A and B are shown apart, each in its own frame.
Chain A
Amino acid sequence: MLGEFEYLMLTAATRLGEDAYGAAIRQEIEDATRHRCSIGALYTTLDRLEAKGFIKTRMGDPTPQRGGRPKRMVRITAKGIQAARDFYAAVTRVSRGVSWEANRAAVR
Protein backbone atom coordinates (compact mmCIF):
# COMPACT_ATOMS: atom_id res chain seq x y z
CA MET A 1 0.00 0.00 0.00
CA LEU A 2 1.24 3.47 -0.92
CA GLY A 3 2.09 6.04 1.68
CA GLU A 4 0.40 9.41 1.76
CA PHE A 5 3.37 11.35 0.44
CA GLU A 6 3.99 8.72 -2.24
CA TYR A 7 0.38 9.15 -3.41
CA LEU A 8 0.83 12.93 -3.56
CA MET A 9 3.93 12.50 -5.72
CA LEU A 10 2.31 10.01 -8.10
CA THR A 11 -0.73 12.25 -8.48
CA ALA A 12 1.38 15.34 -9.10
CA ALA A 13 3.50 13.48 -11.65
CA THR A 14 0.39 12.22 -13.46
CA ARG A 15 -1.13 15.72 -13.60
CA LEU A 16 2.12 17.20 -14.95
CA GLY A 17 2.46 14.49 -17.58
CA GLU A 18 5.48 15.08 -19.85
CA ASP A 19 6.54 18.07 -17.72
CA ALA A 20 6.87 16.05 -14.53
CA TYR A 21 10.26 16.64 -12.90
CA GLY A 22 11.59 17.33 -9.40
CA ALA A 23 10.96 21.04 -8.99
CA ALA A 24 7.58 20.94 -10.75
CA ILE A 25 6.33 18.02 -8.64
CA ARG A 26 7.52 19.84 -5.54
CA GLN A 27 5.59 22.97 -6.53
CA GLU A 28 2.43 20.93 -7.22
CA ILE A 29 2.62 19.28 -3.80
CA GLU A 30 3.22 22.60 -2.03
CA ASP A 31 0.24 24.14 -3.85
CA ALA A 32 -2.01 21.24 -2.88
CA THR A 33 -0.90 20.76 0.71
CA ARG A 34 -0.11 24.44 1.45
CA HIS A 35 3.01 23.23 3.25
CA ARG A 36 6.65 23.31 2.25
CA CYS A 37 7.89 20.11 0.62
CA SER A 38 11.52 19.35 1.42
CA ILE A 39 13.86 18.35 -1.39
CA GLY A 40 15.20 15.58 0.84
CA ALA A 41 11.76 13.99 1.22
CA LEU A 42 11.06 14.48 -2.50
CA TYR A 43 14.18 12.81 -3.86
CA THR A 44 14.26 9.95 -1.36
CA THR A 45 10.61 9.22 -2.16
CA LEU A 46 11.37 9.34 -5.89
CA ASP A 47 14.02 6.67 -5.34
CA ARG A 48 11.63 4.57 -3.28
CA LEU A 49 8.90 4.80 -5.92
CA GLU A 50 11.35 3.90 -8.66
CA ALA A 51 12.61 0.91 -6.66
CA LYS A 52 9.01 -0.29 -6.32
CA GLY A 53 8.50 0.12 -10.08
CA PHE A 54 5.84 2.82 -9.77
CA ILE A 55 7.81 5.43 -11.73
CA LYS A 56 10.75 5.67 -14.11
CA THR A 57 13.14 8.60 -14.01
CA ARG A 58 15.75 9.91 -16.39
CA MET A 59 17.96 12.96 -16.57
CA GLY A 60 16.53 15.61 -18.88
CA ASP A 61 18.30 18.35 -20.81
CA PRO A 62 19.86 21.29 -19.00
CA THR A 63 18.08 24.62 -19.29
CA PRO A 64 19.27 28.21 -18.78
CA GLN A 65 16.52 28.78 -16.17
CA ARG A 66 18.19 26.11 -14.05
CA GLY A 67 21.68 27.51 -14.43
CA GLY A 68 22.49 25.01 -17.15
CA ARG A 69 21.67 22.04 -14.94
CA PRO A 70 19.54 19.07 -16.01
CA LYS A 71 16.17 18.04 -14.58
CA ARG A 72 15.25 14.65 -13.19
CA MET A 73 12.26 13.75 -15.36
CA VAL A 74 9.60 11.46 -13.90
CA ARG A 75 7.15 9.17 -15.70
CA ILE A 76 4.56 7.12 -13.87
CA THR A 77 4.26 3.46 -14.88
CA ALA A 78 1.15 1.33 -15.23
CA LYS A 79 1.99 -0.29 -11.90
CA GLY A 80 2.20 3.17 -10.34
CA ILE A 81 -1.18 4.18 -11.79
CA GLN A 82 -2.73 1.02 -10.34
CA ALA A 83 -1.13 1.66 -6.93
CA ALA A 84 -2.43 5.25 -6.92
CA ARG A 85 -5.91 4.03 -7.92
CA ASP A 86 -5.90 1.49 -5.11
CA PHE A 87 -4.84 4.12 -2.58
CA TYR A 88 -7.52 6.56 -3.75
CA ALA A 89 -10.15 3.83 -3.61
CA ALA A 90 -9.09 2.86 -0.10
CA VAL A 91 -9.19 6.48 1.11
CA THR A 92 -12.59 6.98 -0.49
CA ARG A 93 -13.99 3.79 1.09
CA VAL A 94 -12.64 4.51 4.55
CA SER A 95 -13.87 8.16 4.38
CA ARG A 96 -17.45 7.28 3.43
CA GLY A 97 -19.88 8.70 5.95
CA VAL A 98 -17.20 10.44 7.99
CA SER A 99 -18.19 13.93 9.10
CA TRP A 100 -15.68 15.91 7.02
CA GLU A 101 -16.59 13.81 3.96
CA ALA A 102 -20.33 14.19 4.46
CA ASN A 103 -20.03 17.95 5.01
CA ARG A 104 -17.84 18.45 1.95
CA ALA A 105 -20.49 20.49 0.11
CA ALA A 106 -21.06 22.71 3.16
CA VAL A 107 -17.28 23.32 3.50
CA ARG A 108 -17.13 24.43 -0.12
Chain B
Amino acid sequence: MGGESSRGPMMTRVCWRLVDISSRILDPSEREAVRGDLVESGETSSQALREVLGLVVRRQAALWTHWRPWLSLMGLVVPLGMLLSIVSRRTAGESSVYIWMYANNWEWADLGNAGFWHAFPETVALVFTRYLTLGCWSWTSGFVLGSVSRGIIRVNGALLCLMLSFGALLGAPLYLAYFSQYLHRAFGFPSLPDPNDPVFALRFYREMFPLIVQAVLVVGPSLWGMRQGVEVARLRPLLRTILWTAAIATLAAMVIQNPDLWLFMNTHRRPGIWDGWQIRLLQLVVYWPVGYLVASAIGRRWCGRIASI
Protein backbone atom coordinates (compact mmCIF):
# COMPACT_ATOMS: atom_id res chain seq x y z
CA MET B 1 0.00 0.00 0.00
CA GLY B 2 2.81 2.35 0.96
CA GLY B 3 4.47 1.57 -2.37
CA GLU B 4 1.25 2.22 -4.26
CA SER B 5 0.54 5.51 -2.51
CA SER B 6 4.08 6.73 -3.15
CA ARG B 7 3.76 5.72 -6.80
CA GLY B 8 0.37 7.51 -7.03
CA PRO B 9 1.52 11.14 -6.69
CA MET B 10 4.54 10.42 -8.89
CA MET B 11 2.34 8.91 -11.61
CA THR B 12 0.03 11.92 -11.28
CA ARG B 13 2.95 14.29 -11.76
CA VAL B 14 4.18 12.28 -14.73
CA CYS B 15 0.71 12.27 -16.30
CA TRP B 16 0.28 16.03 -15.88
CA ARG B 17 3.75 16.56 -17.30
CA LEU B 18 2.76 14.47 -20.34
CA VAL B 19 -0.45 16.52 -20.60
CA ASP B 20 1.71 19.68 -20.71
CA ILE B 21 4.02 18.26 -23.36
CA SER B 22 1.33 16.82 -25.62
CA SER B 23 -0.87 19.92 -25.39
CA ARG B 24 1.98 22.03 -26.84
CA ILE B 25 1.16 20.52 -30.22
CA LEU B 26 -2.21 22.33 -30.10
CA ASP B 27 -2.74 25.96 -31.06
CA PRO B 28 -2.01 28.26 -28.11
CA SER B 29 -5.60 29.47 -27.68
CA GLU B 30 -7.02 25.95 -27.93
CA ARG B 31 -4.39 24.68 -25.52
CA GLU B 32 -5.39 27.25 -22.91
CA ALA B 33 -9.11 26.57 -23.36
CA VAL B 34 -8.63 22.79 -23.11
CA ARG B 35 -6.37 23.03 -20.05
CA GLY B 36 -8.93 25.31 -18.43
CA ASP B 37 -11.75 22.85 -19.21
CA LEU B 38 -9.75 20.04 -17.63
CA VAL B 39 -9.14 22.05 -14.47
CA GLU B 40 -12.79 23.14 -14.25
CA SER B 41 -14.17 19.63 -14.74
CA GLY B 42 -11.76 18.19 -12.16
CA GLU B 43 -10.42 15.47 -14.43
CA THR B 44 -7.83 13.08 -13.02
CA SER B 45 -4.39 13.20 -14.56
CA SER B 46 -4.89 9.99 -16.56
CA GLN B 47 -8.29 11.14 -17.86
CA ALA B 48 -6.79 14.50 -18.77
CA LEU B 49 -3.97 12.81 -20.65
CA ARG B 50 -6.45 10.63 -22.55
CA GLU B 51 -8.56 13.66 -23.48
CA VAL B 52 -5.61 15.74 -24.65
CA LEU B 53 -4.07 12.89 -26.64
CA GLY B 54 -7.45 12.23 -28.25
CA LEU B 55 -7.69 15.85 -29.38
CA VAL B 56 -4.08 15.93 -30.60
CA VAL B 57 -4.59 12.75 -32.65
CA ARG B 58 -7.79 14.13 -34.17
CA ARG B 59 -6.08 17.43 -35.09
CA GLN B 60 -3.10 15.71 -36.68
CA ALA B 61 -5.28 13.19 -38.51
CA ALA B 62 -7.39 16.03 -39.92
CA LEU B 63 -4.28 17.59 -41.48
CA TRP B 64 -3.53 14.36 -43.34
CA THR B 65 -6.90 14.41 -45.13
CA HIS B 66 -5.37 17.00 -47.50
CA TRP B 67 -2.92 16.15 -50.29
CA ARG B 68 -0.09 18.47 -49.20
CA PRO B 69 1.17 16.36 -46.25
CA TRP B 70 1.22 13.25 -48.43
CA LEU B 71 3.12 15.09 -51.14
CA SER B 72 5.67 16.35 -48.63
CA LEU B 73 5.99 12.85 -47.18
CA MET B 74 6.55 11.06 -50.50
CA GLY B 75 8.26 13.94 -52.27
CA LEU B 76 10.55 15.17 -49.51
CA VAL B 77 10.66 13.17 -46.28
CA VAL B 78 11.25 9.75 -47.84
CA PRO B 79 13.79 10.77 -50.54
CA LEU B 80 15.65 13.21 -48.28
CA GLY B 81 15.77 10.69 -45.45
CA MET B 82 17.25 8.03 -47.72
CA LEU B 83 19.68 10.44 -49.42
CA LEU B 84 20.96 11.78 -46.12
CA SER B 85 21.39 8.27 -44.74
CA ILE B 86 23.47 7.20 -47.73
CA VAL B 87 25.55 10.37 -47.72
CA SER B 88 26.01 10.20 -43.95
CA ARG B 89 27.19 6.61 -44.06
CA ARG B 90 29.64 7.43 -46.83
CA THR B 91 30.98 10.42 -44.88
CA ALA B 92 31.28 8.35 -41.71
CA GLY B 93 33.10 5.62 -43.61
CA GLU B 94 35.62 7.98 -45.16
CA SER B 95 36.32 9.86 -41.96
CA SER B 96 36.57 6.60 -40.00
CA VAL B 97 39.72 5.74 -41.89
CA TYR B 98 41.42 9.00 -40.92
CA ILE B 99 40.22 8.85 -37.33
CA TRP B 100 41.36 5.23 -37.03
CA MET B 101 44.79 6.19 -38.39
CA TYR B 102 45.35 8.63 -35.56
CA ALA B 103 43.15 7.38 -32.70
CA ASN B 104 43.91 3.66 -32.92
CA ASN B 105 47.55 4.04 -33.90
CA TRP B 106 48.51 6.97 -31.74
CA GLU B 107 52.02 7.28 -30.45
CA TRP B 108 53.23 10.28 -28.50
CA ALA B 109 56.56 10.02 -30.27
CA ASP B 110 54.80 11.12 -33.49
CA LEU B 111 54.50 14.63 -32.07
CA GLY B 112 58.22 15.05 -32.62
CA ASN B 113 57.92 13.98 -36.25
CA ALA B 114 57.83 16.81 -38.83
CA GLY B 115 55.81 14.64 -41.21
CA PHE B 116 53.10 14.32 -38.60
CA TRP B 117 52.69 18.12 -38.41
CA HIS B 118 52.50 18.27 -42.18
CA ALA B 119 49.80 15.65 -42.58
CA PHE B 120 47.78 16.08 -39.37
CA PRO B 121 46.42 19.63 -40.04
CA GLU B 122 45.51 18.64 -43.59
CA THR B 123 43.64 15.61 -42.29
CA VAL B 124 41.82 17.68 -39.68
CA ALA B 125 40.85 20.24 -42.33
CA LEU B 126 39.65 17.52 -44.70
CA VAL B 127 37.54 15.77 -42.05
CA PHE B 128 36.18 19.10 -40.79
CA THR B 129 35.22 20.12 -44.33
CA ARG B 130 33.43 16.82 -44.92
CA TYR B 131 31.54 17.16 -41.64
CA LEU B 132 30.66 20.79 -42.32
CA THR B 133 29.36 19.85 -45.76
CA LEU B 134 27.25 17.03 -44.33
CA GLY B 135 25.89 19.36 -41.64
CA CYS B 136 24.99 21.98 -44.28
CA TRP B 137 23.29 19.38 -46.47
CA SER B 138 21.29 18.16 -43.47
CA TRP B 139 20.37 21.66 -42.34
CA THR B 140 19.26 22.58 -45.87
CA SER B 141 17.15 19.44 -46.15
CA GLY B 142 15.45 20.32 -42.87
CA PHE B 143 15.03 23.92 -44.02
CA VAL B 144 13.24 22.85 -47.18
CA LEU B 145 11.06 20.42 -45.27
CA GLY B 146 10.24 22.99 -42.57
CA SER B 147 9.28 25.67 -45.07
CA VAL B 148 6.64 23.42 -46.64
CA SER B 149 5.48 21.70 -43.43
CA ARG B 150 3.95 24.49 -41.29
CA GLY B 151 1.10 22.81 -39.38
CA ILE B 152 2.60 19.33 -39.60
CA ILE B 153 6.18 20.24 -38.78
CA ARG B 154 6.29 18.05 -35.66
CA VAL B 155 4.87 15.08 -37.48
CA ASN B 156 7.22 15.60 -40.42
CA GLY B 157 10.13 15.92 -38.01
CA ALA B 158 9.20 12.61 -36.39
CA LEU B 159 8.76 10.99 -39.81
CA LEU B 160 12.13 12.31 -40.96
CA CYS B 161 13.79 10.83 -37.85
CA LEU B 162 12.05 7.51 -38.55
CA MET B 163 13.20 7.60 -42.18
CA LEU B 164 16.76 8.41 -41.10
CA SER B 165 16.71 5.49 -38.64
CA PHE B 166 15.43 3.15 -41.32
CA GLY B 167 18.02 4.48 -43.74
CA ALA B 168 20.87 4.18 -41.27
CA LEU B 169 20.06 0.65 -40.17
CA LEU B 170 18.81 -0.88 -43.41
CA GLY B 171 18.55 1.41 -46.41
CA ALA B 172 22.04 2.86 -46.64
CA PRO B 173 23.97 -0.39 -45.99
CA LEU B 174 21.88 -2.27 -48.60
CA TYR B 175 22.23 0.53 -51.15
CA LEU B 176 25.97 0.85 -50.68
CA ALA B 177 26.41 -2.94 -50.93
CA TYR B 178 24.46 -2.89 -54.20
CA PHE B 179 26.56 0.06 -55.39
CA SER B 180 29.74 -1.86 -54.66
CA GLN B 181 28.46 -4.80 -56.74
CA TYR B 182 27.59 -2.36 -59.54
CA LEU B 183 31.16 -1.03 -59.55
CA HIS B 184 32.58 -4.55 -59.82
CA ARG B 185 30.21 -5.38 -62.69
CA ALA B 186 30.54 -2.07 -64.57
CA PHE B 187 34.26 -1.50 -64.19
CA GLY B 188 35.56 -5.02 -63.64
CA PHE B 189 37.30 -4.19 -60.38
CA PRO B 190 39.52 -7.09 -59.33
CA SER B 191 38.56 -8.92 -56.18
CA LEU B 192 41.31 -7.56 -53.96
CA PRO B 193 41.03 -7.20 -50.21
CA ASP B 194 39.82 -3.75 -49.19
CA PRO B 195 42.81 -1.86 -47.72
CA ASN B 196 40.44 -0.34 -45.18
CA ASP B 197 39.34 -3.73 -43.85
CA PRO B 198 41.28 -3.32 -40.57
CA VAL B 199 39.23 -0.18 -39.84
CA PHE B 200 35.83 -1.74 -40.43
CA ALA B 201 36.78 -4.95 -38.70
CA LEU B 202 36.25 -2.94 -35.53
CA ARG B 203 32.58 -2.88 -34.57
CA PHE B 204 32.79 0.72 -33.42
CA TYR B 205 33.72 2.06 -36.87
CA ARG B 206 31.50 -0.41 -38.71
CA GLU B 207 28.25 0.03 -36.76
CA MET B 208 28.37 2.66 -34.04
CA PHE B 209 30.35 5.48 -35.62
CA PRO B 210 27.94 5.86 -38.61
CA LEU B 211 25.06 6.17 -36.15
CA ILE B 212 26.92 8.78 -34.10
CA VAL B 213 27.70 10.77 -37.25
CA GLN B 214 24.09 10.58 -38.33
CA ALA B 215 22.79 11.66 -34.93
CA VAL B 216 25.19 14.62 -34.61
CA LEU B 217 25.55 15.77 -38.21
CA VAL B 218 22.22 14.80 -39.74
CA VAL B 219 19.41 14.56 -37.18
CA GLY B 220 20.42 17.61 -35.15
CA PRO B 221 21.05 19.97 -38.08
CA SER B 222 17.94 18.70 -39.94
CA LEU B 223 15.66 19.45 -37.02
CA TRP B 224 17.35 22.82 -36.52
CA GLY B 225 16.90 23.59 -40.22
CA MET B 226 13.22 22.63 -39.99
CA ARG B 227 12.64 25.16 -37.22
CA GLN B 228 14.34 27.84 -39.29
CA GLY B 229 12.41 26.81 -42.39
CA VAL B 230 9.10 27.48 -40.69
CA GLU B 231 10.12 31.15 -40.27
CA VAL B 232 10.82 31.63 -43.98
CA ALA B 233 7.20 32.48 -44.73
CA ARG B 234 7.68 35.78 -42.84
CA LEU B 235 10.54 36.91 -45.10
CA ARG B 236 10.21 39.14 -48.12
CA PRO B 237 9.47 37.32 -51.43
CA LEU B 238 12.85 38.19 -52.98
CA LEU B 239 14.78 36.89 -49.99
CA ARG B 240 12.61 33.78 -49.91
CA THR B 241 13.38 33.14 -53.59
CA ILE B 242 17.11 33.56 -52.99
CA LEU B 243 17.03 31.16 -50.03
CA TRP B 244 15.02 28.58 -51.95
CA THR B 245 17.41 28.80 -54.91
CA ALA B 246 20.37 28.26 -52.59
CA ALA B 247 18.59 25.36 -50.91
CA ILE B 248 17.78 23.62 -54.21
CA ALA B 249 21.36 24.15 -55.44
CA THR B 250 22.64 22.63 -52.18
CA LEU B 251 20.44 19.56 -52.51
CA ALA B 252 21.53 19.17 -56.16
CA ALA B 253 25.15 19.40 -55.01
CA MET B 254 24.49 16.64 -52.47
CA VAL B 255 23.40 14.31 -55.27
CA ILE B 256 26.07 15.41 -57.75
CA GLN B 257 29.04 15.30 -55.40
CA ASN B 258 28.43 11.83 -54.05
CA PRO B 259 29.80 9.06 -56.28
CA ASP B 260 27.30 6.66 -54.72
CA LEU B 261 24.56 8.63 -56.40
CA TRP B 262 25.90 10.22 -59.58
CA LEU B 263 27.69 7.23 -61.00
CA PHE B 264 24.31 5.69 -61.77
CA MET B 265 23.62 8.70 -63.96
CA ASN B 266 26.52 7.69 -66.23
CA THR B 267 28.15 11.07 -65.80
CA HIS B 268 31.48 9.28 -65.47
CA ARG B 269 31.36 8.94 -69.26
CA ARG B 270 31.86 12.70 -69.59
CA PRO B 271 35.38 13.38 -68.32
CA GLY B 272 36.20 16.83 -67.07
CA ILE B 273 32.63 17.68 -66.17
CA TRP B 274 33.50 17.82 -62.49
CA ASP B 275 36.55 20.06 -62.80
CA GLY B 276 34.88 23.26 -63.96
CA TRP B 277 34.36 26.49 -62.03
CA GLN B 278 30.66 25.69 -61.92
CA ILE B 279 31.24 22.76 -59.57
CA ARG B 280 33.53 24.84 -57.37
CA LEU B 281 30.91 27.56 -57.17
CA LEU B 282 28.30 24.97 -56.31
CA GLN B 283 30.50 23.76 -53.47
CA LEU B 284 30.61 27.31 -52.07
CA VAL B 285 26.81 27.58 -52.32
CA VAL B 286 26.55 24.45 -50.14
CA TYR B 287 27.80 26.49 -47.16
CA TRP B 288 25.02 29.08 -47.44
CA PRO B 289 23.37 27.97 -44.14
CA VAL B 290 26.41 29.24 -42.25
CA GLY B 291 26.00 32.69 -43.81
CA TYR B 292 22.25 32.63 -43.25
CA LEU B 293 22.54 31.76 -39.56
CA VAL B 294 25.25 34.36 -38.96
CA ALA B 295 23.21 37.02 -40.78
CA SER B 296 20.07 36.02 -38.80
CA ALA B 297 21.91 36.23 -35.49
CA ILE B 298 23.37 39.64 -36.37
CA GLY B 299 19.96 40.83 -37.52
CA ARG B 300 18.27 39.69 -34.31
CA ARG B 301 20.94 41.37 -32.15
CA TRP B 302 20.65 44.56 -34.22
CA CYS B 303 16.84 44.60 -33.84
CA GLY B 304 17.21 43.96 -30.10
CA ARG B 305 19.58 46.92 -29.74
CA ILE B 306 17.25 49.23 -31.66
CA ALA B 307 14.30 48.12 -29.55
CA SER B 308 16.18 48.80 -26.33
CA ILE B 309 17.14 52.38 -27.37
Binding site for B on A (CB under 8 A): 22-23, 26-27, 38-41, 43-44, 59, 62-63, 65-67, 69-72
Residues of B within 8 A of A23 (CB): 36-37, 40-41
A40-B32 in contact (CB<8A):
no
B268 at the interface (CB under 8 A from A): no
Q: Which of B56-64, B100-108, B290-298 contacts A (4 or more CB under 8 A)?
A: B56-64
Q: Are A66 and B54 closer than 8 Å at their CB atoms? A: no
With A26-B37, A69-B32, A69-B35 given, name 6 new contacts (CB 8 A).
Answer: A41-B54, A43-B34, A63-B36, A65-B40, A66-B40, A72-B29
| Residues of B that sit less than 8 Å from A by CB | 29-30, 32-41, 51-52, 54-59, 62
Contact B33 A22 (CB under 8 A): yes
When the two chains form their complex, are residues B54 and A39 in contact, meaning their CB atoms are under 8 A apart? yes
Point out the residues of chain A lying under 8 angstroms from B58, CB to CB.
40-41, 44
Which has the most chain A C-beta neighbours within 10 Å: B39, B40, B62? B40
Chain B contact surface mostly: helix
A38: chain B residues at CB < 8 Å are: 51, 54-55
* Contact across chains for B41 and A72 when beta carbons are under 8 A apart: no
CA distance A66 to B37 in the complex (A): 7
A residues near B51, Cβ cutoff 8 Å: 38-40
- Residue in B33, B39, B52, B57 whose CB lies within 8 Å of A72: B33
B56 and chain A: residue at smallest CB distance: A40
Decide if A66 touches B39 in the complex (CB within 8 Å).
Answer: yes
The contact of A71 among B33, B41, B54, B56, by CB within 8 Å, is B33
Instruction: Tell me the nearest residue of chain A to B53, going by C-beta.
Output: A40
